[in-house]
Chains A and B, each alone.
Chain A
Amino acid sequence: MRKIFKEEFVAAIKNLVSQTNYFLPEDILKEIKNCIVQETNEIARDVLYKILENASVASLTKLPLCQDTGIPQFFLKIGKNTCFDFNPEEVLKEITYEIYEKERFRKSCVFDPIVRKHFSHCITVYTEFYNENEKCEVSVLIRGGGSENSSYTTTLLPTTDVTEIVEKIVEVVLNKLVYNCPPAVVGVGIGGTVEQSLIIAKKSLLRKIGERNKNIIYAELERQIKKQINLSQIGPLGLGGNTSILDVFVETAPTHIATLPVSVVLQCHSYRRESIVI
């Protein structure tokens, strides 16, 4: 049994929370560069160059990549032989608050959703256990309001065939994309219970660009959806071009015989995502 000490956890999380707002992941930078090569639309190329420039300014000046420093959404995976002498969810909250204040990140949350008065920072945490014996993996997606607002969930008939599912997903993405900040990444959850389909869609965004679903049928679905969406010519920021999305990640889960939940989650180009193993 390994005991994770609070100091060790705190040091790792502090770094994770601050750096994620300043640095675009390598795979995203690389994919934006690839897109510039393939893009023929002049305005689109200009926007893609600005995305790279923004990343460079953010890392050099320590201005956040995006003013919407959003809600850090944590995904905790705890090894079966790991224990804590503290409450990790509580510590994640405390540390995030401390770092967000110190780094002057935006208070993007209100304590009460109706009253909407007391501005603050907040986080979400999803915890699961896994069989890696003595490890604790912490992943974070920092998501802004635009990305959250362009989420979608539905339950289709269990008899819906795969072409219709794809059509639905493409329709949803085309409607929501420009309220995000394209080029976006599309996370799709098919099956599970209703909330599970949303969670697996969101968790799929922890994958790296080009990382296909291990099931070749779903990997093919990812390619198909990506191709169809990029034909739309919505382009970066909706200003036209071939680069509407960077990738599509599909995740699935066993589901009830009477239902077929489908969820779609969009991630803007300011893809603040990082994972660490403690």
Chain B
Amino acid sequence: MKEYDIEIPLKNIEVLSKLRIRDKIYLTGEIFVFRDQVHKKIANSEIDQITKINFYNSAIYYCAATQAKEGFIIGSCGPTSAYRMDKYTEDILKLGVKIMVGKGYRGQEVVSLCKKYKSIYCITYGGCGAFLNRFVEEAKILAYPELSTEALYMFKVKDFPCIVSVDIYGGKIWR
């Protein structure tokens, strides 16, 4: 188990080849935040609102936060179960996404896709949305505001902690 600081979006995808399952990584930079409904829209090519967004070498976080209270940038913001995004994952990886962050296990197809697209899946602290709030420095809606809490957000994060759970070599944290 090693630890790495990773800047996102990735300047150089070579960094992913160092990572193995159980490594702890700290993400700093801009991360896209979206889940079920935006995945479905992308898969169905309802992408008018996101044509200008560059997903190349980016990271995405499966999360729908609570609204910010006074004095906060965002509310509680832990991960949601990633398996629900499995059937849309190839559509997302085709856009150039390299790091997925969520909680829980993924299907075998996602492990294969991570190998094929040289991408990784990371688990972060599920059920710890209050704790994770401190790593978010900025939050704004980029698209699909009609989806309310499920809109596509961008978070600026600093040292956001996660654990590599599927690596680019087909390694996965579960049996």
Contact = CB atoms under 8 A, between A and B. Distances in A.
B37 to A, nearest CB: 8
A103 B69 CA distance: 8
A240 interface: yes
Given A47-B125, A106-B75, A64 B81 contact: no
Interface residues of A, number: 41
Interface string B61-95: 00111111100100111101101000000000000
A240 B173 contact: yes
Contact of B174 (A67, A69, A238): A238
Contacts, number: 128
A240 B22 CA distance: 10
A2 B63 CA distance: 47
B114 to A, nearest CB: 17
A114 to B, nearest CB: 14
Interface stretch (A48-56, A75-83, A248-256): A48-56
Contact of A58 (B22, B63, B130): B130
B105 A179 contact: yes
Nearest to B66: A106
B81 A179 contact: yes
Interface residues on B, range: 35 or more
Nearest to B129: A67
A256 to B, nearest CB: 35
B64 A54 contact: no
A54 B173 contact: no
B58 interface: no
A29 interface: no
A117 B95 CA distance: 26
Interface of B: 1, 22, 37, 63-69, 72, 75-78, 80-81, 83, 103-105, 123, 125-131, 133-134, 146, 148-149, 163, 165, 173-174
